[in-house]
Amino acid sequence: MTRPDDDRVVVTGIGLVCALGTDPDQVFTRILDGEFAAREWPDLVADGFPITVANRVEDAGEYGRRPARRGRALTVHAVGNAIADAGLGAAHLKNAGVYVGSTMGESAGFEAAAAYSATDLDDATADTFAAEIAREFGTNGTLRTYGTACAAGNYAIGSAARAIASGRIDVAIAGGVDAFSRIAMLGFARVRAMSPDRCRPFDRNRRGMQLGEGAAFLVLERERSATRRGARRRAVIGSLGLSGDAHHPTAPRPDGSGSATALRSALRATGVRANEIGWINAHGTGTAASDAAESAAVATVFGDRTGPPVSSLKGAFGHCMGAAAAVEAAMTVLALERHVIPPTVGVLDVDDQLPIDVVVEPRPAPDLRWALNCGNAFGGLNSALLIGAAS
């Protein structure tokens, strides 16, 4: 059974920064137009990186002045925009909870420490982002940091929604952040997870992921409170389904059973039936193993080639690590508002071995009510966040 409307947790604000832009509506439109941000970077070529194509935020002036604070600069920009979008004042923010997902922390700080530069590692560790939000925006509520790798954004948003639904907090700022990480750029290349050119999720010739960067944050509130203050209700946050693979440090279970458990858990906990799901915003990294396992999971839960349409957005703005699921959650809200399913940018030749309906062109979806936002990660994490239309 779905929760009563006045108990729902709603999204009232969105802010983001990614390689495709800083305005959520414009980023969504660019995805509909099939645009992508990946390009070769001369500094990566000069430094001898094995892979030199990435999705980085171009505005080095604003975010690049202090590399060891780049993640915090991205965070402050995205959170500021989310708060403005929600129309939240200082009084509402005072007791807001802050829920942040991050994979790498301030990676440039660790790189500096490796070069024997005097560095306070506490200042670079992932919980520095939540502390920065509290300082910058004057929040005094709960601070939580989820180091759950590439699923971290879903963890942060789902956990914040749960805290609101259970009455522990009234307002939350929730999302994820990761600045471009040279450690990740090298590491993912060395574990052979990266594509040397384009990221082509669900393509027959997919060759891997591409690194991105960014930050995305949502303002979440109880619907009754949002209505009372006249805020725009942009979407509903349902439950977060989680599971563990207990299988391998970097590879998913090939049968997708872990991911399927997370999908089922999200549906069951929210009381939404499988046939009510109108779109799956997949994790879709573009690696052979991950896309195959995720497709198997979707087929297990929704039927072989009979389930909801599936897109991956990582071909458009790259894999934003701890921000990935949060940026994609923001795009899921836009899809629900605009009643259109965005395409899988980068796909040329859909892999017909995958038992899913891959979206390759924008698809009108006038009846889209519920979508699943998926994020999986090294260490065998699987997450699925249910997001619904506000009305």
Residue 95, C-beta contacts closer than 8 angstroms, at least 6 positions apart? 139, 140, 141, 169, 170, 171
Site for other proteins in 95-134 (CB under 8 A): 102-105, 107, 110-111, 113-115, 121, 124-127
Site for other proteins in 345-364 (CB under 8 A): none
319 is catalytic: yes
Give the DSSP letter string of 326-337: HHHHHHHHHHHH
Other beta carbons within 10 angstroms of residue 125's beta carbon come to: 16
Site for other proteins in 38-67 (CB under 8 A): 47-50
Look up residue 326 and give its two tokens.
């949060």
Nearest approach, Cβ of 286 to other proteins (angstroms)?
A: 19
Set 18, 319, 320, 374: catalytic member: 319
The C-alpha atoms of residue 229 and residue 239 are separated, in whole angstroms, by: 25
Between 54 and 377, CB nearer to other proteins: 377
The C-alpha atoms of residue 49 and residue 114 are separated, in whole angstroms, by: 17
150 is catalytic: yes
Nearest approach, Cβ of 147 to other proteins (angstroms)?
A: 3
Set 18, 77, 92, 150: catalytic member: 150
The C-alpha atoms of residue 3 and residue 7 are separated, in whole angstroms, by: 6
The C-alpha atoms of residue 15 and residue 90 are separated, in whole angstroms, by: 17
Look up residue 209 and give its two tokens.
């992921």
Residue pair 77/17 in contact (Cβ under 8 Å)? The answer is yes
Residue pair 350/301 in contact (Cβ under 8 Å)? The answer is no
Nearest approach, Cβ of 73 to other proteins (angstroms)?
A: 20
- The H or E element spanning position 386 is strand 381-389
Q: Interface with other proteins includes 135 (CB under 8 A)?
A: no
Per-residue contact string for residues 240-279; x = within reach of other proteins by CB under 8 A? --xxxxxxxxx-------x--x---x---x----------
Q: Is 218 helix (H, G, I), strand (E, B) or coil?
A: strand
Between 143 and 288, CB nearer to other proteins: 143
Between 261 and 285, CB nearer to other proteins: 261
Nearest Cα residue to 336 out of 281, 273, 376, 375 = 281
Nearest approach, Cβ of 378 to other proteins (angstroms)?
A: 5
Residues in binding contact with other proteins, number by CB under 8 A: 57
Between 21 and 258, CB nearer to other proteins: 258
Residue pair 96/160 in contact (Cβ under 8 Å)? The answer is no
339 is catalytic: no
Which residues of the chain form contacts with other proteins (CB under 8 A)? Answer: 47-50, 102-105, 107, 110-111, 113-115, 121, 124-127, 143-149, 155, 159, 162, 166, 182-184, 186-188, 190-192, 242-250, 258, 261, 265, 269, 377-381
Active site residues: 150, 283, 319
